Amino acid sequence: MKKIAELIIKFRIVIIIGTILMTIVMGYYLKNIKINPDIISYFPKDDPVVELFNYIGEEYGGTQLAIVAIEADEIFQKEIIRNIQEITSDIQMLDGVSYVTSITNVLNMKDDEFGGIEIGFQNFVDRLPIGCGSR
């Protein structure tokens, strides 16, 4: 162990320069990395789970999800809530958007026992499409 430490100290400049050069080279090639976010494309198309996933997407308006976050010192201010409502309405009007959930359109918000906010959908079952959940 002592010999390794001595080698690191002896060649510290070479190690630092080598690390910097490797970081630059890897950073340069990082721009060419392509990420496929479609997790379903990694599974066989005839897999029953994939078929069910595709069916649900076709039947209920897609399987894509987007999350929009808003940063504010205090979110529960009139102006912030108005802005959130406006953003919620604007997103809802976009083509391809089937539903938007935000703090301005949830059914039940209350303080929880840990000092946070609990958001619930009390009438969720009543809002399900007819026949949903029955076989």
On whether residue 20 sits in a domain, the answer given is yes
On whether residue 77 sits in a domain, the answer given is no
Each residue of 73-86: pLDDT tens digit?
Answer: 887 777 888 888 88
User: Crossing angle for the helix pair 2-10 and 12-30, nearest 10 degrees?
Assistant: 80
Same domain, residue pair 28 and 13: yes
Count of domains for the chain: 2
The beta-strand segments (E) located in the chain are: 108-111, 117-120
Is residue 79 helix, strand or coil? helix
On whether residue 3 sits in a domain, the answer given is yes
Same domain, residue pair 1 and 28: yes
Q: 69, 50, 71, 52: which is closest to 60 by C-alpha?
A: 52
On whether residue 28 sits in a domain, the answer given is yes
Same domain, residue pair 41 and 58: yes
On whether residue 123 sits in a domain, the answer given is no
* pTM for the full predicted model: 0.41
Please say whether the beta carbons of 19 and 11 come within 8 A. no
Same domain, residue pair 27 and 6: yes
| pLDDT computed for residue 119 by the predictor | 63
Instruction: Name the more confident of 35 and 64.
Output: 35
How far apart CA 102 and CA 105 sit, in angstroms, is 6
User: For residue 15, what are the domain limits?
Assistant: 1-33
